[in-house]
Amino acid sequence: MSADLDAPTFPERVGRYELLLPIGTGGMATVYLARIPVVGNVHREVALKLMHPFLSAEGRESTVSLVEEAKLAVRIRHPNVVPVIEVGDSAQGVFLVMEYVEGDTLSGLHRAVRADGSFLPLNIAGRILVDALAGLHAAHELRDDEGVLLDLVHRDFSPQNILVGTDGVSRLTDFGVAKAAGRVNVTSSGIIKGKVAYMAPEQALGKKVDRRCDVWAAGVVAWEVLAGQRLYRQEDQVATLLRIVNEPPPRISTVRPDVPKALDDLVAQTLAMDVDERIGTADELRRRVTEAWKTVGGLADAHEVSEFVQATARPKIVARREQVSRVIRLRSSMPTLSGAVGGPTALAASDETTSAISASSVARHSQPGTDLLRERQGRRRTVLWALGGAVSIAAVAGGAWLLGRSQSRDAEPAAPAVPTLTAQPSAKADPAPSALPKLAELTVDANAPIKSLRVNGRSVPVGVPTKALRVTLEASEAGAPLELEAATEDQRKATARAPAGATAVTVSFPDPKKPSPAAPAGKVVRDSTKSPDLPGLAPTPYEK
């Protein structure tokens, strides 16, 4: 494979926004750090969530889902919720623009401290949880223009969707699977929305949910930051769902005996399987967390959280800033190809945006200039981004997770690479493509086509099922041991481990199960200890 195909690419511009680098991806969209000029050489940084091209081409459902997310999030005005600034349509697809929060996700911070064998400081963990619960309660209390409660349920309250900024403030994001009474139904039959490990029993059973479903998820988050480990490891999603609906969660004290009884009892009540015995609202849980945390010295203030985030996430933040500077310097040395993807023509045409996008607009999502661009590349190609290493999901705004999360969502479809704007370099600026640093990659080979893949809990885009994948690793994953979870289209599961520094790994799926042959017509199945004889039926496995 050539170097051109190895290098990940993305559009230079979407609408009036200049994309700088990807910072997160999920099953529906990729989130980019982007910027827009304000005055002179002053720019404002934002997080831009761009729908995957293949979803834009598939039809109305995904488009409506992203727009519905914007309609919900834009109504919530609270310091602990990442605000949506704009929703628009462009040649590259439907997009959301959100406030950029520099820092890290709660899941990123938790992984960083656990890597050193430590726990999140209790005062820091308590403050992050209290902030996130304040934002969650604001979402639950959202009302329409007539003042009627929308009965909004987030349905994906998880560490990947809690952004902890360098300002010491935690914010809730990603309302992509949120549900409100009366909202347009965009959920396909048979599809479970949200992360399995944080689902309440009633949500896992597909029953009607209310805000107490999110209270359960907050209880799982609290359990994990206190215990220092996952409550449900998700080695098998079906097994996890069965545990959630059948087994009461273990108390924190069973894995960390030094946790005070007040915190142990509070989390246990939050994780009550009977929804009527559970704490009723996020605001009540917030108040009780504040009170219970007094037994461990109280909550940290914003300044203390800020210092902790800057110390813990500093390597990620510095690496991202260096990558952004490198991209900007490289672009400044390149001429602009007018009329190509994301070029001046696309910029001028994208000033008109709308918050209500029709299904027919998706059909316009072509990428003009791509063929012209390829013809002009010839023997040399300069990719307009130079990333020294993969960017982990560190402080993304509104929907940057994925950490990535979904992580991302569980078993989500993946996106094909988006073509980048490229141009013939000038004589004064002709950096050889081979001089640009490459991202760390892992080659995954399997004995059956892979439909979905997770690396260290992060959902990896797959696209068309295939036996061979090349996975771009995040900064936190490069040079570290990796745990892979894969699934085929027929729901066979497999796991694999890659040691630190490995560049290839093999995943072995079990052989497909062969259906049991049916009994010949008219034959009587006899089992005196089981059900009465029934003609023509094979023995049921559930009676063995």
Secondary structure of residue 105 in the 3-state scheme: strand
| Per-residue pLDDT at 277 | 95
Task: Report in angstroms the alpha-carbon separations of 419 from 5, 213, 341, 370, 413.
Answer: 11, 40, 8, 7, 19
CATH number for the domain that contains residue 287? 1.10.510.10
Domain boundary among 377, 406, 427: 377
Identify whether residues 210 and 295 lie together within a single domain: yes
- Does 518 fall in a domain? no
Q: Strand pairing of 93-99 and 84-90?
A: antiparallel
Q: Strand pairing of 466-472 and 84-90?
A: unpaired
Domain boundary among 272, 292, 310: 310
Identify whether residues 67 and 112 lie together within a single domain: no
CATH number for the domain that contains residue 79? 3.30.200.20
| Per-residue pLDDT at 490 | 82
Identify whether residues 175 and 214 lie together within a single domain: yes
| Catalytic annotation, pick one of 89, 156, 214, 410 | 156
Residues ≥6 apart with Cβ < 8 Å to 405: 24, 26, 105, 107, 158, 160, 393, 457, 458, 459
Q: What angle do CA 409, 277, 247 make, to 5 degrees?
A: 55
Q: How many domains does the chain have?
A: 3
Residues ≥6 apart with Cβ < 8 Å to 491: none
Residues ≥6 apart with Cβ < 8 Å to 207: none
Assessment of whether the complete model's pTM goes beyond 0.95: no
**95 beta partners:** 50, 88
**534 beta partners:** 525
- Does 275 fall in a domain? yes
- Does 407 fall in a domain? no
- Does 424 fall in a domain? no
What stretch of H or E contains 30?
strand 29-39
Q: Which domain holds residue 491?
A: 440-507
Identify whether residues 300 and 327 lie together within a single domain: no
Provide the residue type at 363 as one letter.
Answer: A
Q: Which residues of 438-466 are buried (b: 16+ CB within 10 A; e: fewer)?
A: bbbbbebebebebbbbbbbbbbbbbeeee
Tokens (6 digits) for 127? 């403050």
Domain boundary among 360, 377, 394: 377
Identify whether residues 293 and 163 lie together within a single domain: yes
Contact 437, 29 (CB under 8 A): no
| Per-residue pLDDT at 168 | 96
Identify whether residues 332 and 470 lie together within a single domain: no
- Does 328 fall in a domain? yes
- Does 59 fall in a domain? yes
- Does 230 fall in a domain? yes
Euclidean distance between CA atoms 350 and 344, whole angstroms: 10
- Does 536 fall in a domain? no
Identify whether residues 294 and 322 lie together within a single domain: no
Instruction: State yes or no: is 264 an active-site residue.
Output: no
Identify whether residues 83 and 13 lie together within a single domain: yes
Q: What are phi and psi of 449, to 5 degrees?
A: -60, 130
Identify whether residues 114 and 90 lie together within a single domain: no
What's the gap between Cα 382 and its chain centre?
A: 30
Euclidean distance between CA atoms 96 and 112, whole angstroms: 29
Average pLDDT of adjacent 10-residue blocks, the chain of 544 residues: 47 92 83 92 92 67 67 84 88 89 94 90 96 95 87 90 96 74 43 76 90 96 94 81 92 92 95 95 96 94 96 92 91 59 34 31 34 36 36 35 38 37 38 47 90 87 83 81 88 89 89 60 41 39 36
Identify whether residues 304 and 162 lie together within a single domain: yes
Identify whether residues 320 and 283 lie together within a single domain: no
Identify whether residues 215 and 295 lie together within a single domain: yes
